[in-house]
Homo-oligomer: A and B are copies of this chain.
C-alpha cells in the first residue's frame, strides 16, 4: 500500500481514540473474524462469489493487519522476507513443484 492509504488507516484509529482497544490479542481476534467473513463469500459455492463483497472483506483483513503491524511496530517487508526465506527452504522447488502437500509430507 502507498503511504497515503496507511496514513488514512492510522488517522481513522487515532481520530476515534481506538488505540486503547487495539491490543495485539484483540487485533489477532479481529483478523480471524474478518477473514471468516471473507470465507463466507465462498461458503456454499467456491465459484459464484460476489466480487464487491469479497473486496470489502479482504479490505477489512488488510486494515486490521496494518493495525497489528502498527501496534507491534513491525515492518511488513522485514517479516515477510524472513518468512519467505523459511518457506523457500521448507518447499524446495524440485520437491514442491506442482504439489500442494504440506512440507512434512513432501
Contact = CB atoms under 8 A, between A and B. Distances in A.
Contacts of A60: 83
Please state the number of chain copies in the assembly: 4
Q: Is the interface of A mostly helix, strand, loop or mixed?
A: helix
Interface string A23-43: 111101111110111111111
29 contacts: A1-B1, A4-B77, A5-B76, A5-B81, A12-B88, A15-B93, A16-B93, A16-B96, A25-B42, A26-B43, A28-B39, A29-B29, A29-B42, A30-B43, A31-B35, A33-B37, A33-B39, A33-B43, A35-B36, A44-B100, A58-B65, A58-B69, A59-B76, A60-B83, A61-B65, A62-B76, A62-B80, A63-B84, A63-B87
